[in-house]
Structure 1
Amino acid sequence: MKWSEQAWKSIEAIYLSILKMPFIKELSNGTLPQNKFQFYMMQDSLYLEHFGRALALIGAKADDIIDALTYMRFAENAIVVENALHEFYFMDFGISDKGSIQPVCHHYIHFLKSTAAFEVAEIAMAATLPCFWIYKNVGDHIIANHRSSDNPYQKWIQTYGGEDFALAVKNAVAICDRVAESATASTRTRMTEAFITASRMEYKFWDAAYKLKTWESESEL
Structure 2
Amino acid sequence: MKWSETAWNRIEERYQSILTMPFILKLSDGSLPIEKFQFYMAQDSLYLEHFGRALSLIAARAHHIGDTLAYMRYAETAILVENALHESYFEDFGLTEKGKMQPACHHYVHFLKSTAALDPVEVGMASVLPCFWIYKKVGDHICSHIQAENNPYQKWIDTYGSEEFAEAVNKAIVICDRIAEGTTPAIREKMTEAFITASIMEYHFWEAAYELRKWI
Scaled by the length of structure 1, what TM-score is found?
0.97
Give the counterpart letter for 1:70 in structure 2. Answer: A
- Shift of residue 146, structure 1, vs aligned partner: 1.2
- Shift of residue 183, structure 1, vs aligned partner: 0.6
1:178 is aligned to 2:174: no
Structure 2 distance, partners of 1:53, 1:15, is 25
Alignment of 1:1-221 (within 5 A): 1-216=1-216
Structure 1 distance, partners of 2:6, 2:70, is 24
Structure 2 distance, partners of 1:163, 1:79, is 20
Question: Residue 97 of structure 1: SS of its match in structure 2?
Answer: coil
- Tell me which stretches of 4 or more aligned residues in structure 1 moved more than 6 Å: none
Give the counterpart letter for 1:45 in structure 2. Answer: S
Number of equivalences? 216
Give the counterpart letter for 1:143 in structure 2. Answer: C
RMSD: 0.4
Structure 1 distance, partners of 2:173, 2:117, is 21
Scaled by the length of structure 2, what TM-score is found?
0.99
- Shift of residue 152, structure 1, vs aligned partner: 0.3
| Cα deviation 1:30-87 (Å, max 9, x = unaligned) | 0000000000000000000000000000000000000000000000000000110000
Question: Residue 99 of structure 2: SS of its match in structure 1?
Answer: coil
- Shift of residue 149, structure 1, vs aligned partner: 2.9
- Percent identity, please: 66
| Cα deviation 1:75-112 (Å, max 9, x = unaligned) | 00000001100000000000000001000100000000
5+ unaligned residues in a row in structure 2: which ranges? none
